[in-house]
């Protein structure tokens, strides 16, 4: 049994370093693979989910068992042979790294990947699941499969490095969010959760803006002023509360922060063209 994907322009980028996936193979070994090595910037990633065998890598013999992962980089000589009674099955992905002008020091993932020309051990990052997904995408061609394969190959590089390091915690952190984007979240959560006590001054204080700046931001982001957003939030909550039959309309008016049932009913009828009790009966 052999599944083989080659002659496809599959490429992906990790930390500004481009890789080409030149050969992707899943095979149940019934034969010996003679000693061979790969050229500069070429890496072969081997993952064995099932079966047994052995590999001779730069003159050293390694026993292959289920969940074995090993990487043979540039000029690493290696051969493989299966155990006849229970031959190994192997995913093998052949990558060629494009030349990069970026210094390795600025690319920690790629730096670690390049330093490990050879690595052999048991996978502890769930690479079997990832390999299966790559081959399923290539088989079925579902919408977006090309992008999905590229993303999975990016993950493969990261999971290899995590295997090398043993889940070392990264010192890098995401940069702080763009201030405008952060304020958008504040605005939306304010109207979503605090519909009972919405005030322009209260929102302005949350945003560390003046009321005038807050109104301008609402118009720029949503095309609505504060009063429109307030009414929209209250009416959305009103519909939800009216669907709960154990609440009276008077109680709902109080929850929404209206000063009286009459005030709530007038606002509701203006927005939905039905009084709240009639809306409840209809919907």
What pLDDT was estimated at residue 180? Answer: 66
**C-alpha distance across the termini of the chain, in Å:** 60
Count Cβ atoms within 10 A of the Cβ of residue 11 and give its class: 0-12 exposed, 13-18 middle, 19 or more buried: middle
What pLDDT was estimated at residue 282? Answer: 85
Contact 47, 127 (CB under 8 A): yes
Task: For domain 2-165, give the CATH number.
Answer: 2.60.120.10
What pLDDT was estimated at residue 271? Answer: 95
Architecture of domain 179-282: Orthogonal Bundle (1.10)
Q: Which residues pair with 4 in a beta bridge?
A: 25
What pLDDT was estimated at residue 125? Answer: 97
Going by C-alpha positions, the residue among 30, 27, 34 that lies closest to residue 4 is 27
Every domain of the chain and the residues it spans: 2-165, 179-282
What pLDDT was estimated at residue 105? Answer: 46
d(CA 125, CA 109): 16
Going by C-alpha positions, the residue among 124, 195, 131 that lies closest to residue 161 is 124
d(CA 2, CA 26): 6
State pTM to two decimals: 0.74
Contact 48, 90 (CB under 8 A): yes
Going by C-alpha positions, the residue among 149, 170, 173 that lies closest to residue 161 is 170
CA separation, residue 279 to residues 125, 209, 213, 231, 250 (Å): 54, 38, 37, 17, 14
Going by C-alpha positions, the residue among 51, 12, 57 that lies closest to residue 38 is 57
Contact 3, 9 (CB under 8 A): no
What pLDDT was estimated at residue 170? Answer: 78
Strand order in the sheet with 118-122: 2-14, 17-28, 89-97, 42-50, 68-72, 118-122
d(CA 158, CA 106): 16
Mean pLDDT by 10-residue block, N- to C-terminus, for the chain (283 residues)? 91 94 94 94 97 96 98 96 95 91 66 93 97 97 97 98 88 69 89 92 94 94 94 94 90 93 94 93 83
User: Residue 225: which region, alpha, beta or left (left: phi > 0; alpha: psi -120 to 50)?
Assistant: beta
Contact 19, 80 (CB under 8 A): no
Kindly give, in sequence order, each residue whose CB lies less than 8 Å from that of residue 63, ignoring residues fewer than 6 positions away: 52, 54
């Amino acid at each position: 049994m052999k599944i083989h994907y080659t002659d496809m322009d599959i490429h992906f980028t990790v930390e500004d370093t481009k890789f080409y996936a030149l050969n992707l193979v899943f095979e149940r070994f019934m034969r010996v693979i003679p000693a061979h090595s790969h050229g500069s910037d070429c890496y072969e990633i081997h993952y064995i989910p099932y079966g047994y065998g052995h590999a001779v890598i730069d003159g050293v013999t390694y026993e292959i068992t289920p969940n074995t992962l090993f990487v043979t980089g540039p000029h690493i000589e290696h051969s493989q042979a299966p155990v006849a009674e229970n031959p190994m099955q192997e995913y093998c992905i052949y990558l060629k790294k494009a030349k990069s002008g970026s210094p390795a020091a600025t690319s920690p993932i790629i730096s670690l990947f390049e330093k490990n020309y050879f690595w052999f051990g048991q996978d502890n990052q769930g690479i079997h699941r990832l390999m299966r997904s790559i081959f399923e995408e290539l088989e079925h061609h579902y919408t977006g499969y090309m992008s999905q394969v590229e993303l999975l190959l990016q993950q493969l590089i990261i999971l290899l490095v995590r295997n090398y390091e043993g889940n070392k915690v990264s010192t890098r952190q995401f940069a702080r969010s763009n201030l405008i984007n952060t304020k958008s979240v504040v605005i939306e959560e304010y109207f979503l959760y605090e519909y009972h006590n919405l005030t322009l001054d209260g929102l302005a204080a949350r945003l560390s803006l003046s009321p005038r700046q807050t109104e301008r931001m609402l118009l720029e982001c949503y095309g609505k002023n504060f009063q429109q957003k307030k009414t929209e939030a209250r009416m959305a909550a009103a519909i939800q509360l009216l669907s709960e039959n154990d609440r009276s309309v008077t109680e709902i008016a109080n929850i929404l922060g209206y000063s009286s049932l009459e005030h709530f009913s007038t606002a509701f009828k203006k927005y939905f063209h039905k009084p709240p009790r009639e809306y409840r009966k209809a919907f």
